[in-house]
Every structure is written in structure tokens, then in C-alpha cells.
């Protein structure tokens, strides 16, 4: 049998899902189901409420949900509700600066002055700006996939970490070649290590929860 809420495979006769803590159809309890158009309870109509409740609905509402023990989804919720959205906004802001050249508008300088000295830098900045736009879009898609318990959620998060690492390294290498000396600094090194660490952590994390992200 499977859990009505998270879809995890359970032994026959299991009364409470050990993963999400919700009652299963095996406990004989009747579950109240609400829809956006009909707030009447199933109990009042006498209809058996064995229909599966989508994880996406349960994530948005506590109606009809029995409280249970933590299922170890705090990291996923942190990513889906906060971190990935903030990351997308940061990448989007940086992309605009790279594509418009506004990052050079400091101390009386501007992009055209910089590009007259380093002509190829214009194209490297455009490459990096487009890469950041892709990362921002991927972050949003990954966040939505987590909140909807999509099976591809873990893959998207890991792809985001891996692509972030590759785009960042590619930009540093090209920038170093154009400027003429190594542009890898402490900040870039830390960011690179964080991307690698998150990539490894998220692979293990979502692999252990593939029975929850099943949609």
C-alpha cells in the first residue's frame, strides 16, 4: 500500500505513515477533504474519504491534515520557500549589471571606458550575464518543484549547484586571461567551495527522500 499524502511505499495495515506522520487508509479513520470550490466536509456527505490528497495541496494548507513527527524536510522547505528565491533575485540583479555594464559605474568610470581598454571583456560579461539569467530561472523552477514534491526536484537543485560552479569558473578563467593575471580571490574560492559542497549534500539529501518527491 502507499501513503495517501506523500506516496511512500508502506507495509499493508500501516496506520500512520512513518515519513509524513499522516494517517493512512489502513487505520480506518475518515479523512476530511477540501477543495477550492467546495468547503463542505466529506463526513457530512457520508462519502468514504479514501481519495489521495496531493502533497502540493497539503503543503499549502493544514486542513484535513493530522499532525505528525518531523519527516526531515526542513532543508527542502528552506530551499523551496527561501534560499532558492533569494538566490534567483541575486543572480537576476547581477545579470542586469553584467549585461548593461552598470557594475563599472563607480568612481567616475563607466563600461565604455573599461571596454576600450579590455575589448574582449564586453563579450565575457555578456556570457556571464546570460549564464546568471539561466541560473535564476533554474532556481525558480527548482523551488517550485520542491514545493510541489516533483520527482525532478533533487535533480534540478543539483543541476543548479553544478551549473553555478561551471559558470563561475568559466568566467574567472576568461576574465583572468583578458586582464592578464589570476582573478581568483578568497571570495570566489569560498563561493566555488560552497557550490561543490551543496552539490554533494543535495545529491545525498534528495536521494534519501525520493519516496517523498514522487509527483
pLDDT tens, the chain, 215 aa long: 777 767 777 777 777 777 666 777 655 554 444 444 444 444 444 444 444 444 444 444 344 333 334 568 999 999 999 999 999 999 999 999 999 999 888 877 888 998 999 889 999 999 999 999 999 999 999 999 999 999 999 999 999 999 999 999 999 999 999 988 888 888 888 988 998 999 999 999 999 999 999 99
Are 72 and 20 spatial neighbours (Cβ–Cβ below 8 Å)? no
Exposure of 53 in the CB half-sphere (CA atoms within 13 A): 24
Q: Look at residues 150, 168, 148, 207 and name the one whose alpha carbon lies nearest to residue 87.
A: 168
Q: Phi and psi (nearest 5°) for 2? A: -125, 150
Per the confidence metrics, is the pTM higher than 0.75? Answer: no
The grid coordinates of residue 26 equal 489502513
Are 82 and 74 spatial neighbours (Cβ–Cβ below 8 Å)? no
Q: Name the β-bridge partners of 23.
A: 16
Amino acid at each position: 500500500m502507499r501513503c495517501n499524502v506523500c506516496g511512500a511505499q508502506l507495509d499493508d495495515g500501516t496506520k500512520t505513515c512513518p515519513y509524513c506522520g499522516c494517517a493512512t487508509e489502513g487505520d480506518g479513520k475518515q479523512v476530511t477533504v477540501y477543495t477550492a470550490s467546495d468547503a463542505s466536509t466529506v463526513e457530512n456527505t457520508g462519502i468514504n474519504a479514501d481519495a489521495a490528497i496531493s502533497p502540493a495541496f497539503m503543503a499549502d494548507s493544514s486542513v484535513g491534515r493530522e499532525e505528525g513527527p518531523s519527516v526531515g524536510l526542513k532543508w527542502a522547505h528552506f530551499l523551496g520557500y527561501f534560499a532558492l528565491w533569494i538566490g534567483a533575485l541575486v543572480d537576476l540583479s547581477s545579470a542586469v549589471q553584467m549585461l548593461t555594464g552598470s557594475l563599472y559605474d563607480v568612481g567616475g568610470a563607466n563600461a565604455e571606458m573599461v571596454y576600450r581598454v579590455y575589448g574582449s571583456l564586453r563579450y565575457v560579461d555578456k556570457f556571464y550575464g546570460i549564464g546568471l539569467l539561466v541560473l535564476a530561472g533554474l532556481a525558480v523552477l527548482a523551488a517550485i518543484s520542491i514545493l510541489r514534491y516533483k520527482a525532478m526536484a533533487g535533480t534540478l537543485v543539483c543541476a543548479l549547484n553544478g551549473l553555478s560552479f561551471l559558470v563561475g569558473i568559466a568566467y574567472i578563467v576568461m576574465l583572468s586571461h583578458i586582464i592578464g593575471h589570476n582573478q581568483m580571490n578568497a571570495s570566489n574560492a569560498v563561493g566555488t567551495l560552497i557550490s561543490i559542497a551543496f552539490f554533494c549534500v543535495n545529491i545525498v539529501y534528495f536521494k534519501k527522500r525520493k519516496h517523498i518527491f514522487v509527483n
